[in-house]
Structure 1
Amino acid sequence: MRFPAILAVVLAILPIACNTDTSAPVGQALDVPLLTDDAMVVGNVNVANSETALMVTLTTSAGWTFEKVRWAVGTELRHIPQTKGGEPIPGRFPLQRHSQAGATRETWRLPLIVEPGTVLTFAVNADVKFKAPKDDKSAPDPAHEGDDENCIVASSWGEGTPFPKMKGAMSFTYTVQASAPPSLEGMYRTHTQEQWSSDTNDKPTGYLAANFAAVFPNGVTLGSTTGFTAVFTSAAAIGTFLPESGAAGSLGGNCV
């Protein structure tokens, strides 16, 4: 693991607008809802990573817009700015952004400085606004009203484990994903016994003869670590060894 203890510090000094890494995400992304202190869903937090970048995307539910977003991340809960009593301090979160008017989506891409399998702890806080038509009587809880009687402003958090002493404040965890192992798909050609000597423009025996030495400069060994093996050092050796017909069978001894 590379520098896990200073993750929060490094993120704090990174330019927020530095989103030049366009690498594709790997593994499974995480989605958690944005909840107000009375458990109203007002949006979503999506966390993902590529091999080189950490990606965090916030979106609002229909009718809601962002006012300001603040978040922090570290390899331990203690990396989240908080009081000695464990109350989070959103004003000191290292990643902050005042949203443009009407914004429904906020995105960050930051350099990934920890290894796959690392568990990261997030605290994501977003101020959101809902503006209902003047004659709309179905607006959300008026307890969150703003200056405009038809404008509701609320604080929301990414759903997870509650912080003590602050109603609605929560943290959640995300495990950094690894990329899929290299695939052998498309690297090998296979032929049935009947196809092996078929007279086509792409005759398998000709393909084997043309490519064997480059692909297997030291020969190729087939068999089992607990049984017999056959070692082929040339394409001609394979042609000599293969039967022309009959059912497949196991090796009766070692062959070179």
Structure 2
Amino acid sequence: MSASEYDGLVAIVTGGGSGIGAATARELTARGARVAAFDLDPAGAPEGVLGIRADVTDDESVRTAVQQVLEAFGRIDVLVNNAGIGAQGTVEDNPDDQWHKVFDVNVMGAVRVSRAALPYLRKSPAAAIVNVASVAATTGIPQRALYSTTKGAVQSLTMAMAADHLREGVRVNCVNPGTAATPWVQRLLDAAPDPVAERAALDARQPHGRLVSAEEVALAIVYLAGPSSGSTAGTALAVDGGMASLRLRPKED
């Protein structure tokens, strides 16, 4: 990727006020893009990024936010569907209303923003959508039944969208991060009976022995969204330290 390949392009990043979204917005801006961060609290958007309050569970809010981007920048070239929430528990533990809520954000949120942005993406010479799924889409992780189901749906949605829109000039891919050092994971650690032991367990769960950084995920997103990946479509790029695919022998003492 060149430092200037995004010159003149406009990107939307949902959930751009913190974590992976903020890191992505920052990286896109550094590479020359004009970026709008959609978030319930856009105050956390990085410097130089247009923060827009948007609720991905509300179609009118999403469409209003997209129009604000067009008024500010005149075009849309890249969409990063990153907004998401987590959930813990087995299939027995989460009530129906929580299932509906997490699906509404993680899956339908991506649907709503994509639906609103596609008419403008089709006009771009370098259109791309990147959805943020998870290693949980392809790997069985304890106590993540609801979250894993939504992220599996995001990956399936990515493949369907890629097939539907590639010949319209819109590439669609997704990234599957491993356990990342984000505010949500930090809240899980803070709530654990032994945060130090829980952090060690999360680190050890990934073959490279640590959490994935938000910046590492952002760089993968930026690659998939940029002109340099013009022949990449319908791909799920794992950024998980080998968690989904590697089975290393235990470390010797």
Relative to the length of structure 2, the TM-score reads 0.24
More strand as a share of residues: 1
* TM norm structure 1: 0.23
* Higher radius of gyration, 1 or 2: 1
